[in-house]
Amino acid sequence: MSFTPCLSLAEVYGPQVIYLIRSSWRQYDFLRRGDESIRDGFTGVLLPIIGEGTPLCSAGTYRPDGLELLRVAGVAVPEQPILYRGAEDYAATLSTLVQSGTTLAIQHVYPPDEIPAEAYWIPPTLLSDLNDKANLTRFVPPECCPPRRVVPIETATGLRLGPGETLVIKGSTPRSTGAGGAVVMARTDQQLRSLPTRLAGCGQVVVEEYQPFVRTMCVTWAATTEGDIHYVGSADQVVDEDGAFHGSWMGPSLGAPEAAVGLGRAIMTAAVELGYVGFAGFDMGVLPDGAILVFDLNFRLCSSTPALLCLPLLEERHPEGYLARLANFRSQRPYQEMCRSALEAVSRGILLPISSFDPALAGWPDRLPSLRGLVVGRDRAETEARCEAMRLAGFEFS
């Protein structure tokens, strides 16, 4: 019997909506720039959480060996996703969907000539307003946010840092942001001078005081077409000193504090009143004194969302408790060998796969195959040891 997620995309949006997670190939966003193949690989996370709906995924994510990993793990996958191979095929597929009048659940705003506003399930203007970093205090009480101000980018460029001072500069834009792509951790005046280049196109920026958080979380929610609001769960973020995201920790011992859940519900309720339907992840930090601040709102499917939706499977198999590390692995081995090696870890319950990616089938023959999933142990030490064992077996954290 296959496991289904605690809340599928079809249950949130309805079964007739086509869900696409990829941003435009035209780089119409402020996501952290990188290898375009990574964006294709990420489309595979839709497969285990779509339910009765239809996802638009890269063909490289729908391979027999990778699907076998999901089946062995007990995860159900759709039988007929819409698949694309490369940029031209993706554009042609979008054009066909738009011309047929299909409603698209889109989480990254596209150029208007690529996807018209009438094709969006949620209006692109609402998506932009909800995700604009300058609008945080429209949804969160100022006292629950880090001290911040919105200024012209020229004003921020001219600031001077005091000894040991760090400012967090965030671009204000109607385009999509994510993975720290619109964030500059400014520790030097030179980094401030680079803002016009780093955040080109942003007329305004948020200047935020750096906070000594002891823990940061993505507290995740969903709002259905019926207006019901669901608390999905929380994941502790793994973030480097420049604000880039590198995975998550999650498990029964890492639930969000009650105050964080209360804040999240209020934010989601305000968004629903504006007409929002879908998933959202709110980035919150815990200060040394226990106070909680909200520092970013992401009205989209976040990196940790698919894993959180699959956690009931781990809860069923590990009633004594567990701690899981969400990670993306790349392998020097060919795709089929990678999957064969991963199958042992899946069979032993060490790895819960979320998606896999064969770049060669997706038009990226010079890229490494990848595997995304949860490494599971009884506690942090055991999970970290199992992550290291996977690294030694040829799986590299990416």
Q: How confident is the model at residue 1 (pLDDT cuts 50, 70, 90)?
A: very low
Q: Is residue 222 in a domain?
A: yes
Q: Is residue 281 in a domain?
A: yes
- 178 and 240, same structural domain? no
Kindly state the average pLDDT of the residues 67-73: 95
What does each C-alpha distance from 6 to 154, 222, 230, 299, 330 come to in angstroms? 46, 11, 10, 19, 28
Q: Which residue has the tokens 């030179």?
A: 190
- 199 and 228, same structural domain? no
CATH value at residue 164: 3.30.1490.20
Residues 88, 90, 91, 93, CA torsion sign = positive
Question: Are the C-beta atoms of residues 395 and 387 closer than 8 Å to each other?
Answer: no
Please identify, among 282, 298, 314, the residue that sits at the C-terminal boundary of a domain.
298
**Which region holds residue 255: left if phi is over 0, alpha if psi is between -120 and 50, else beta?**
beta
- 292 and 216, same structural domain? yes
Whole-structure pTM value: 0.93
Q: How many domains would you assign to the chain?
A: 2
Please give the single-letter amino acid code of residue 296. D
Q: Is residue 183 in a domain?
A: yes
- 278 and 217, same structural domain? yes
231: containing domain: 212-298
- 234 and 294, same structural domain? yes
Each residue of 229-278: pLDDT tens digit? 999 999 999 877 766 667 899 999 999 999 999 999 999 999 999 999 99
- 274 and 216, same structural domain? yes
Each residue of 47-60: pLDDT tens digit? 999 988 899 999 99
Q: How confident is the model at residue 101 (pLDDT cuts 50, 70, 90)?
A: very high
Q: Which of 34-43, 67-76, 193-202, 227-236 has the lowest mean pLDDT?
A: 34-43
CATH value at residue 242: 3.30.470.20
- 250 and 199, same structural domain? no
Q: Is residue 234 in a domain?
A: yes
Q: How confident is the model at residue 119 (pLDDT cuts 50, 70, 90)?
A: very high
- 241 and 294, same structural domain? yes
Task: Look at residue 139 and give its three-state secondary structure.
Answer: helix
Angle at CA of residue 159, ends 157 and 164, nearest 5°: 120
Structure tokens at 125: 């203007």
Q: Is residue 384 in a domain?
A: no
What does each C-alpha distance from 316 to 248, 348, 379 come to in angstroms? 20, 15, 17
- 283 and 228, same structural domain? yes
